Amino acid sequence: MKIFTIFILLSAIVGGLSSAYAQSKHPVPSTRYMSDALLITNGQQEWLSPFKKQKTFTIPAKETTSELKTKSLIALYDSIYHWEWDTLTNGWAGNPYYKEINFVYDANNNLTSELDQNWDGTAWVNNWQYTSTYDANNNLTNYLVQNWDSTAWVNNWQYTSTYDANNNLTSTLRQNWSDTAWVNYWQSTYTYDANNNQTSTLRQNWNGTVWVNSSQYTYTYDANNNQTSALGQSWNGTAWVNSWLYTSTYDVNNNLTIRLGQNWFGAAWVNFWQYTYTYDVNNNLTSELRLKWNGTTWVNYWQSTYTYDVNNFKKCYTYKYWNSTGTAINSGDSSIYYFHTITGVNELMAQNENIIIYPNPATDIVTLNINNANNKDLEINIYDITGTLVKSEILKQNQQKINIGDLSNGVYMVSIKSKDLTENQRLIIQR
């Protein structure tokens, strides 16, 4: 049985709508990986909680610590449910297998606590609990993770951090719980220049008595605060040894145009990969080409292209991969984006005033209210997430109750059609 997962996010949005269309013009090409709550990007470490880590998709290469915290659009999550897809029965499991609930925020919309639970087949069972503490400047100072031992919450691990007067992260301490006390695991310290650009990161591990060097990263910037190089080094017991080097160049508009990745072999830098970027007159990214080094020359690896409309909204995205020698294209795909101009929040709300579905999420009965009295004999079709029609009815009046007790938990699309009305709305069935 193959398992896929769907995430259902129930949230409120706080802040301006305009930032939803913000597009990064500084792509981050390097591979990302997660270690606990530590996000590594081009050797730069950022302390993110598992919750924030889960919601982080792209971070502009130039963005500072303080800028990461200043977002116009804030998602205040109420709950997150995870369902599994069974390819044998070609349907969603009857109940979510995992959920994240009890999100609590402070007055500044900082997430202070979260509870995760697993479904054991008959009931929800506590799994993990996360608690966050912030300073007066909304900097995360402590992140505590606890697991459930069937009777009580038990400490598991925690992060503690400090910041300078400019709210730059200066240190992160990771500790694990050992029965009765916290035990050091690793720590990172960070330095910055006068423009609050991060200039170094030092990672050390605890050997039981003292801190031992592990790795370090150093960064340089141009006069416009664009990062021009990132150097990664490892500790061999007595000295720092080069590991990798990223160098970046920019155009007159501070757009990243080339990023070169090299690895250290013995006594010299050896090419590994290279990205090149192009932009239109509005500084929108129009192409991204990745090349790999075959030992003697650069060969194509993959390329993506982008087009935009007059409002600088992305219209089309295409990508293609080459074969191992870079001489033929193996695969590719494209996506086309459609936009509808919204003049304000009232118009956005008005689009759905013709039909109201409640309760949503629902359990066994759902009520449909049609606010357009001229529409009679509406056809109501309910589709599951695969597009399969699972229920069809004719609505004879402006309000009608529909029995959905025979449908499994999951996400459905409700389609209402008549000669002068077509509406689609999402319905969540949750028991």
Residue 31: partners with Cβ closer than 8 Å, 6 or more residues away: none
CATH number at residue 398: 2.60.40.3080
400: in domain: yes
Q: 53: pLDDT confidence band, cut at 50, 70 and 90? A: very low
25: in domain: no
**Residue 360 confidence (pLDDT):** 83
Residue 91: partners with Cβ closer than 8 Å, 6 or more residues away: 85, 384, 408
Residue 311: partners with Cβ closer than 8 Å, 6 or more residues away: 339
DSSP secondary structure letters along 263-301:
EEETTEEEEEEEEEEEE-TT--EEEEEEEEE-SSSEEEE
Q: 398: pLDDT confidence band, cut at 50, 70 and 90? A: confident
Q: 350: pLDDT confidence band, cut at 50, 70 and 90? A: very low
Lowest mean pLDDT of 48-57, 99-108, 182-191, 256-265, name the range.
48-57
Cβ 216 vs Cβ 202: under 8 Å? yes
37: in domain: no
| Parent domain of 378 | 354-429
For residue 341, which of 74, 21, 73, 25 has the smallest C-alpha distance?
Answer: 21
286: in domain: no
Between 48 and 395, the more confident residue is 395
- Indicate whether 342 pLDDT > 80: no
- Indicate whether 189 pLDDT > 60: yes
- Indicate whether 375 pLDDT > 80: no
Q: Distance of alpha carbon 113 from its chain centroid, rounded? A: 19
> Which helix (H) or strand (E) is 109 found in, with range?
none
**Residue 293 confidence (pLDDT):** 97
43: in domain: no
Q: 292: pLDDT confidence band, cut at 50, 70 and 90? A: very high
The Cα 324–Cα 275 span in angstroms is 17
Cβ 220 vs Cβ 237: under 8 Å? no
Tell me which DSSP letter residue 26 carries. S
325: in domain: no
Q: 246: pLDDT confidence band, cut at 50, 70 and 90? A: very high
Residue 419: partners with Cβ closer than 8 Å, 6 or more residues away: none
How many percent of the chain have pLDDT more than 90? 51
> Would the pTM of this model clear 0.75, i.e. be above it?
no
The Cα 368–Cα 377 span in angstroms is 13
- Indicate whether 222 pLDDT > 70: yes
Indicate the number of domains in the chain: 1
The Cα 260–Cα 29 span in angstroms is 10
Residue 347: partners with Cβ closer than 8 Å, 6 or more residues away: none
390: in domain: yes
295: in domain: no
Give the pLDDT mean for 231-236.
98
